[in-house]
Every structure is written in C-alpha cells, then in structure tokens.
Amino acid sequence: MKFRLLPAALLALSAVSWADTAEEADERAQLPLDDLRTFTKVYSQIRNTYVEEVSDQKLLEYAIKGMLSELDPHSTYLDANSFDDLQMNTTGEYGGLGIEVGMENGFVKVIAPIDDSPASRAGIEAGDLIVTLDDKPVRGMSLSEAIEQMRGPVGSDIVLSIVREGNDQPFDVTLTRDTIKVNSVRARVLEPGYGYLRIAQFQLKTGDDLLKRITKLKQDEPNLKGLVLDLRNNPGGILQSSVKVADAFLNEGLVVYTEGRVENADVKYHATPGDEINGLPMVVLINEGSASASEIVAGALQDHGRAVIMGTDSFGKGSVQTVIPISEDRAIKLTTALYYTPSGRSIQAQGIEPDIIVERAKITALTRGGNFKEADLNGRLENGNGGDALDAKAREERSSQRDDLAARDNQLYEAVNLLKGITIFAKHGQDKSAGKSTQMADRTGD
C-alpha cells in the first residue's frame, strides 16, 4: 500500500524551547500558546491526581485520539493493530466479522456487510447501529477500539446488540469470527445476452481484476447486449481503484477531482481511450450501503450519461482520507480533501440520487390457479412456425428463472428488464433507419 507522507510537527509538552526569532514566527500561523498552557495543566492534573496511575504514553495516545475523533467520523488514530488491519483490508484478507463501519452519535454504524462474511450471513444490514459488543457499551470507545474489539481468533464468538430502524427494541446477534477473504470482483451471465459484475469493495487490485472478469464474461457470452454493475453495499476503498473501474467504461473526460487545503490534495483524474464493452447499455445498482469509491464510479458514469443509475440514494461519503505514518507501526488516517464528480457535484452528506428509484422489496409471484393457456388444451393445433413441446418447456423454465430472480432480488430483476427495453428500443430505431435507407436507395434507382 502506498502512503502519502506529509510534514509532521513535534511538540514537546514538558519543556518548549523557541529557537525561532519573532519575525520567523510571525511568518507562520501562531501556535495557540494559551491553549497549550491549558492543555499542559490538564495533562499534569490527570497524570498526578487521577485515581489510577496512567502512563504518559497512554495519556498522549488518548489526546491524539481525541483530537482526531472530534474532526469528523473518518479521521482516526491507527495504533499498531489498527494499522495492520487497514493494510490487510486493502489487500483483501483479514480476520473478523466482515463489517465496514463508521461512527454516528457515539455508536458504531454499519456502512455495509461484506459479501459472504459472518455479518452478511447473520443478516446484519447497512444502517444498523451497534450499541454493545459482548455487553460492553460502544459509547465512549473510539472507532479503532470498537474495531479491535470485533477482531479476535477465528472460531470465537461475539455478541452484538443492534438497533435497527423499524424495530422497537435492540436485539442481539451472535457472530462467529472467521477469516475474511474478500474477492472484490465477481462476474456471471445472468441470462443470454446480459452480464453481471459485482464489486464488493475497492482494493489495490480491483481495477485489474475487473478487466479480467470482463474479458472472461465476453468469452462466456460473445453476444453481450448489456451489463449490470452492482455496487450495492460496497463501502468504498482505494480512490485510484475506483478511477480505474470508471475508466473501464469511459473513452474520455474527467472521472473525479479532489480539492483540499494542501497543494497536492488538488488532483484531477481523467479517463483514457477505450470502453471495455464498446458502449453497450449499462445499469449501475446502488443503495444506502454504497459509499465513497462506489459513489465516485456511480457519479462519473451518471454525469457522462454512460449508465443508468438504479436503486436508492447512496451513503454520501464525499471525503478523501490520507494514511500518514507517524512511526514504523502507527499512523493517522486524516481527511485531507473532498471529491467532486465530473459535473462539480459534491456528494458529501447527500449521496448519489439514482436516475430510477427502486426500493428493495420482497416479491411473491401469483400462482396461476385454474388459469390455462392454449398450449394446455388437448388436441391443440401445432405451432405453424415449427414450435414444439420442447420450446414450451424451455419457455416455462425461463419464466421460472425470471420469477426466482424477481423474488430473490427485485432491484436486479428491474435492472435486467431495463437493459432489455433499451436493447429493444435501440434495435427498433436501427430497423427504422435501415428501412428509410432502403427507400431512399429505391428512389435513387428510379
């Protein structure tokens, strides 16, 4: 993992010596001396009179954590364990529950469960608030402390107390820790002509993995007509990987740009020539668990008119964090910039609004009951186009598969239907254009 290093200032609390002249000091922002004196007094009082002895190392660590946690929900101090966890997350393998989390009002908020993890299998949902971990209240914990609490030996259990919107009371969920191996990109053919790409999170190799999956998808379905890109419950990840994913479907133009206080925070990322699916229709699925890097991809494709965005409003994390090592095994994760979509939109605390809103719902197919069709009648005439019972059986199987998809994932079902509609409409337009061209040729011949 590559880290951007920023200059660091070292402040000695016990004895501060000033070597700068007054003129030199005036050239820089003045340090708040009165506030620093207040800090040292508080530090001294805690160190000397707190009911239990606390080491200087712990007190300074607490001070750093406090400074960062008060800035925003995503700036945090990374101790040795948290730093290791972060690096494991970006490479795609770590031990734990498989939950991407943030802080909200002192509680741990689930941004998204990772696919095929203990959390997703137990039914943990985006938006859930975790209020206790093994009966220990999370209020008062830092985010890194809560994450560390959720880590543990593979096979060990932990009880989460969950508050969920729509539920009157908190409820407990017991999860068994497992080794989380995140395959960031999955692909399959949904039905003839229509492909599906699922990105679980943006890791170091996600862009390269996506290109491999697209190549395999085109081999499996040479007559590809459209593609669904599923970014639901994708909590984000590495910005550069999201740029590479968006670039895979764009020929040119701005993908995203970032702006911050420091000079190197202002960066523009552009697409390179080459659309991996040659302009085929696309639908991008998002929901409230789609955050950060997911929103970069959705926003870029939406602004360029390259894809139809479907689902529900995304999470709304429009900030960029820089990991800044402060020692060999410790770092801070600091918000250093905001990002903007190609049209200049900031989605911070707003999210991406879908072009077509489709809420997640449970759909139950109506039974046919006593209804029947011509094909069910005894002595019916055969199909004049050569259709037979085999065709009818195949149609019945396809119908059953569609019903299963609608019941299992209505948003994906609607995405496929939209792609089919776009394909039919485009073909109809081509046929009409071809007909006009033929008529013009006939007139010219006369």
* Burial class (CB within 10 angstroms; exposed 0-12, middle 13-18, buried 19+) of 56: exposed
Neighbours of 282 (CB within 10 A): 22
**Catalytic residue (choose from 65, 317, 319, 333):** 317
> Of 260, 181, 186, which Cα lies nearest the Cα of 216?
186
Q: Are 313 and 349 in contact (CB under 8 A)?
A: no
List the structure tokens of 439.
């008529």
> Of 219, 228, 279, which Cα lies nearest the Cα of 249?
279
Q: Are 339 and 257 in contact (CB under 8 A)?
A: yes
Q: Are 239 and 338 in contact (CB under 8 A)?
A: no
**Catalytic residue (choose from 303, 313, 355, 403):** 303
CA-to-CA distance for 266 and 338, rounded, in angstroms? Answer: 9
**Catalytic residue (choose from 242, 292, 314, 319):** 292
Bridge partners, 95 (sequence order): 179
CA 162 to chain centre: 22
Neighbours of 7 (CB within 10 A): 6
Instruction: Give the E-state strand segments of 294-446 in sequence order.
Output: 308-311, 319-325, 331-340, 356-357
Neighbours of 176 (CB within 10 A): 14
Active site residue 391: no
Instruction: Give the E-state strand segments of 341-395 in sequence order.
Output: 356-357
Neighbours of 214 (CB within 10 A): 20
Q: What are phi and psi of 107, to 5 degrees?
A: -110, 160
CA-to-CA distance for 425 and 357, rounded, in angstroms? Answer: 21
Active site residue 313: no
Active site residue 184: no
Residue corresponding to tokens 């039974």: 367
CA-to-CA distance for 126 and 154, rounded, in angstroms? Answer: 24
Both ends of the chain: CA-CA distance in Å? 70
User: What are the residue numbers of the active site?
Assistant: 292, 303, 317
